[in-house]
Amino acid sequence: FLSFGCLKKNKGLGVKPENRKYFGVYKRRVSIKEIKSIRKQYKGNLQIVAWPIDWAKKFPVKTCVNIIQQKAIPFILWNPVIKDYPEAAGFEAILRDDWLEYLEEWAEDVKEYQYPVFICFAPDFNNNERDWFIKDKQGSEKMKAVYKKIVMIFKEKEVENAIWVFSPSFESSPGLDWQIVEKAYPGDKYIDWLGFSALVNNNLDDKGDNKLSSLICNSIENIQKISSKKPIVVSCLGVA
């Protein structure tokens, strides 16, 4: 997990990049004891802690504060789904304002929290294993509309510490053209960082070359086609 670029709203937090790179860790559940151990292992070189949250949960103020106290920035992968009720937090429901009260509460809590927090809404939306998978051009238009709506709710609540991340999977599911992914982008006005996830089954290709390194370079090139003005984050990185 790493990111490239500058991080605004970092003043006074003590989160220092190394050569303009922020290194982080992705965890299914955040354990501060484990985060302390990782920081010690890497001699304090840990600036971002990421984990997933579904829409059954409120904004995790306590967890975010604990991460800030470890001189790192929280990175929330905000999955629009509820376990056992995958359609409940779908794009259409959000656009109907079924979730307006929930979103306004999140906005107010993020504002009260005050410190920076990355919010990556609907990550890997071009992966058909996700409940929020966009299947076609119509799906990309809904994704764009929903993301704009959410950001505007936060803006109306005068939230200034949310860092919005647009993060598809490095590779779209079969039949989904990359142009569909580009059409889902809400625009530079609404997004602060671009991201992508990169997962491979084997780190070496048939020639023995480093497949993951090549994958990351190609993914950066693709994501920059969406916008060349934004810093980039590898929101999930793994090798099986």
Q: What is the pLDDT of residues 55-65, one digit of tens each?
A: 999 999 999 99
Q: Which ranges of the chain have pLDDT less than 70?
A: 1-20, 86, 200-212, 238-240
Please name which of 179, 74, 157 lies closest in space to residue 117, comparing C-alpha atoms.
74
The whole-number pLDDT of residue 8 equals 53
For 133, the token pair is: 């998978």
**How many CB atoms sit inside 10 A of residue 47's CB?**
27
Place of tokens 């609540």: 157
**pLDDT tens digit sequence for 74-103:** 999 999 999 877 677 899 999 999 999 999
| Predicted local confidence at residue 2, as pLDDT | 46
**pTM score, whole prediction:** 0.87
Count Cα atoms within 13 angstroms, Cβ side, for 27: 15
Cβ pair 234, 198 in contact under 8 A: yes
Measured between alpha carbons, how far is 230 from 178 in angstroms, rounded to an integer? 19
Distance of alpha carbon 82 from the chain centroid: 18
pLDDT at residue 162, rounded to an integer:
98
* pLDDT score recorded for residue 229: 87
With contact defined as beta carbons under 8 Å apart, do 80 and 94 qualify? yes
